[in-house]
Structure 1
């Protein structure tokens, strides 16, 4: 099956599909190596890697180029985080084919205003567009795709914005009616209670997508038991792991005034060269360099 078909099949079967965030091709390769089913092309992680806020500071082209680079070195489906769609329904109509051509198997689009503010920022500016306007953006995305198995996921930020369960359910059902293949419901509460309440009340037919960043105590076993969730996204763990490891290593080198204590704990240069695809390049050399 193609990458698109594998993601679509997982959603249709309600077999839990796990996606790990990535901010560059190397982190995506490591996620695939670890055994995740897919890659989350995270806008938050990419923004962090550029040391700018996750607030549509980076251009759509920068994100698109990174998604293309990630898709080119991985064999598992890529779910691209396109924030608010980089504009209105007209922008969405032009953007979605570009992501499909770049190798993404899905896009996730959220119902906040442009420019957005990151969902988990304390006291962030969380403003939602009109329900009807976002329905139009979802419909435009569905119409713009060329492969029937390409997945369009609608993300409602109703709970993030503090608008309550009724508004979240109303919007999610409206987005399903507009053609969304799945609904991502997000929360920044430190326990999963708010999310569990939404899942229990969900009467739609499309699967849900969860991002348990704020409530890590909800395990995959717990999520599978809910019966309504198709995808779980680990939304920022690659960049957080990288930052933590680099801080520790850099501080140790400064302390020791040398690398004598950190070097034994680091992956070898040989391993990094392997991850760069050196074996493939050597094979090409053997075949064609005469």
Structure 2
């Protein structure tokens, strides 16, 4: 992973960061060409794409760090990677942070849910004691090799324990050294504004279409005080709808004639996936 400007520099320069969710090699390559300041490896989308399973603590550290390495290897845009709960205790957090950084991520997101964790906009989430998460953040900070590898601290306390508890946890996580605060699932714009007004540390908005948090414009996010927004589900929700439409046409018509979803040009898509390098290699080494 290379970039002309680090995420830390962008935050220092007060740039608003929009990060689309990527979840496999195709989505990562498509987004990487678009000029975003960052990409977000969504846990939900990655687990669904890689394993065909729900984001419910079923994927292991080994599986997820492999995904980080794959996505980072095919992109040049800084990659923010979902690290779930750190996959265990404090030693696991140390291993996770070091592994994600070595795999090429520019930042890791860690959350204070009990294991097994659940997707942030679904019911049934429970959080660990605040002091336990503070320890995880401290270990994460001391385990990274570079200060440019950012630690994102997420709390899921809002849904079950209320906004005040979520804010209390955010303050504690900031004191522990988190670079970015992620107060998950505020339910009104007023709550979103209160979150951003409560901290000097940059705040992240998680925008999930159909989720618990209002979906608002970029200008409104800036007005509310956010420094960054991730859109983890937008890509795979679009993909799901597009595939359902295309496969429906194939099922009903027995052919692709009549497909209404826009299709990429096959040769252009092949070049995006790296076939031009294959063709060039073959030419250089043709007998």
Which bin holds the TM-score, normalised by the shorter protein?
over 0.9
In 2, distance between residues paired with 1:245 and 1:150? Answer: 35
Corresponding residue for residue 10 of structure 2: 10
Instruction: Report the alpha carbon displacement of residue 236 of structure 1 after superposing the two structures with TM.
Output: 1.0
Stretches of structure 2 that go unaligned for 5 or more consecutive residues are none
175, 189, 192: which one pairs with 1:177?
A: 175
Corresponding residue for residue 68 of structure 1: 69
What is the DSSP-based 3-state SS (H/G/I as helix, E as strand, rest coil) of the residue aligned with 2:229? strand
Could you give the per-residue CA deviations for residues 230-285 of structure 1, whole angstroms, max 9, x where no partner exists?
A: 21100111111111100000011111122222289422321221121122223333
Corresponding residue for residue 233 of structure 2: 236
What is the DSSP-based 3-state SS (H/G/I as helix, E as strand, rest coil) of the residue aligned with 1:137? helix
In 2, distance between residues paired with 1:247 and 1:196? Answer: 37
Corresponding residue for residue 115 of structure 1: 116
Corresponding residue for residue 130 of structure 1: 129
In 1, distance between residues paired with 2:224 and 2:238? Answer: 29
What is the DSSP-based 3-state SS (H/G/I as helix, E as strand, rest coil) of the residue aligned with 1:167? helix
Could you give the per-residue CA deviations for residues 69-117 of structure 1, whole angstroms, max 9, x where no partner exists?
A: 1111111100010111101111001111111010000000011111112
Corresponding residue for residue 20 of structure 1: 20
In 1, distance between residues paired with 2:261 and 2:247? Answer: 14
How well do the aligned residues superpose, as a CA RMSD in angstroms? Answer: 2.0
Aligned: 1:278 with 2:275: yes
In 1, distance between residues paired with 2:121 and 2:153? Answer: 18
Stretches of structure 1 that go unaligned for 5 or more consecutive residues are none
Mapping for residues 98-109 of structure 1, pairs under 5 Å:
98-109=99-110
TM-score by length of 2: 0.92
Instruction: Report the alpha carbon displacement of residue 165 of structure 1 after superposing the two structures with TM.
Output: 2.2
How many residue pairs were aligned? 283
Contact 1:14-1:230 at 8 Å conserved across structures: yes
In 2, distance between residues paired with 1:217 and 1:104? Answer: 27
Instruction: Report the alpha carbon displacement of residue 226 of structure 1 after superposing the two structures with TM.
Output: 3.2
In 1, distance between residues paired with 2:280 and 2:92? Answer: 43
Instruction: Report the alpha carbon displacement of residue 26 of structure 1 after superposing the two structures with TM.
Output: 1.2
Contact 2:107-2:149 at 8 Å conserved across structures: yes
Instruction: Report the alpha carbon displacement of residue 171 of structure 1 after superposing the two structures with TM.
Output: 0.5
Mapping for residues 139-218 of structure 1, pairs under 5 Å:
139-161=138-160, 163-187=161-185, 189=187, 191-200=188-197, 202=198, 204-213=199-208, 214=211, 215-218=213-216
Contact 1:84-1:110 at 8 Å conserved across structures: yes
In 2, distance between residues paired with 1:278 and 1:289? Answer: 16
Contact 1:19-1:39 at 8 Å conserved across structures: yes
